[in-house]
Amino acid sequence: MPKLVWLNGTVSPLETATVSVADHAHLYGDGLFEGIRFYDRKIFQLDPHLDRLYHGIAYMKMEMHIPKSELRAIILDTCRQADLDNGYIRLNVTRGTGLGLDPKNINRTANVMVMISTLALYAPEMYDVGLHVVTTSYRVYPPDGLDPRLKCIGRYATNILAKMEANRQGAGEGLMLNAQGFVAECTGDNLFLVHNRVIRTPHPSSGILKGVTRDTVIELAQGAGYEVREEMLTPFDIHSADEAFLTGTAAEVIPMVSLDTQPIGCGKPGEVTLDLISRFREHLKHGTPF
């Protein structure tokens, strides 16, 4: 029975699962989420995703009634019931149910969802030829408004608008800067550059979501002997790079070959990028079995 949803203790097919219209995320975007991949019945980086989710729950002061260890067991059990070898897990935790912005006036029992489905962000051939990216007019949230490390449902309205802007230009992705003009991230991915085989990526204080796949790639690169620097970057750094690539749970690791119609390096996936893609795919074998 593939493509299942576990919602507040009830398992149902994805097509028939429903959530209350008064859910606080539906009304106000007041919720958190995680996207997690599994490969060959092994969940990739399950615990780092759960750590980030529960850090967000603490920051948002949600009244979460399911301990981390119990939610972990629920995820593994729901994956077993779905019986898919490869797929995508979507976790949602919302503040509760009720109309009204003020949480004190609603039922604050957190609504928890585990969805088991599939997701392909880019066409398979794009991993061979690379993505063309454009700079969008939309900026990431400043940390004095909403901490960028928070994977909050409501913050993604800006990313969706940026993605639509990139789509109108026929680009594979959209680059988002921060309010100061420094490079932050793409609409659903973290960015890496290669200069003389040194790997550079925007510093977390640039306004990025500190991605789990990003952290994995940094560890793999350092383990392979590459120097990795987290820095404040501008579009100049992208245009002058030898290579570029993007990372994310849905994207995995994918080459970026141009920005605003200008080729990056030779305009093709580079040697370091291809090496890290290979290392990342090998690393996917080391997941949590279910």
Give the list of residues 6+ apart from residue 31 with CB closer than 8 angstroms, or none: 23, 24, 25, 92, 93, 94, 95, 111, 152, 153, 154
Residues in the chain: 290
**What number is the average pLDDT over the span 54-58?**
97
> Percent of the chain scored above 70 by pLDDT?
100
Confidence of residue 1 (pLDDT cuts 50, 70, 90): low
Q: Is the predicted pLDDT of residue 168 greater than 70, yes or no? A: yes
**What number is the average pLDDT over the span 118-133?**
93
**What number is the average pLDDT over the span 80-90?**
96
For 236-252, the pLDDT digits (tens) are: 999 999 999 999 999 99
Cα separation of 130 and 136, whole Å?
19
Give residue 120's pLDDT: 87
Q: Which residues of 9-18 are buried (b: 16+ CB within 10 A; e: fewer)?
A: eebeeeeebe
Cα separation of 124 and 99, whole Å?
43
Q: Which helix (H) or strand (E) holds 199?
A: strand 198-202
Cα separation of 208 and 196, whole Å?
24
For 260-275, the pLDDT digits (tens) are: 999 999 999 999 999 9
Backbone angles phi, psi at 165, to 5 degrees: -65, -45
Domain borders along the chain are 4-117, 126-283
Cα separation of 177 and 162, whole Å?
11
Q: How far is CA 264 from CA 154, 238, 241, 242, in A?
A: 33, 7, 6, 6
Give residue 44's pLDDT: 97
Give residue 94's pLDDT: 98
Sign, CA torsion 101/107/112/113: negative
Domain 4-117 belongs to what architecture?
2-Layer Sandwich (3.30)
Cite the DSSP H helix spans in 118-228. 126-129, 156-168, 212-223
Q: Where do we find the tokens 């529960």?
A: 54
Token representation of residue 97: 């149910």
Q: Is the predicted pLDDT of residue 92 greater than 60, yes or no? A: yes
**4, 52 Cβ separation under 8 angstroms:** no
Q: Is the predicted pLDDT of residue 144 greater than 90, yes or no? A: no
For 31-51, the pLDDT digits (tens) are: 999 999 999 999 999 999 999
* pLDDT, averaged across the chain: 96
What is the CATH code for 126-283? 3.20.10.10
Give residue 177's pLDDT: 98
Backbone angles phi, psi at 56, to 5 degrees: -65, -40
Give residue 143's pLDDT: 86
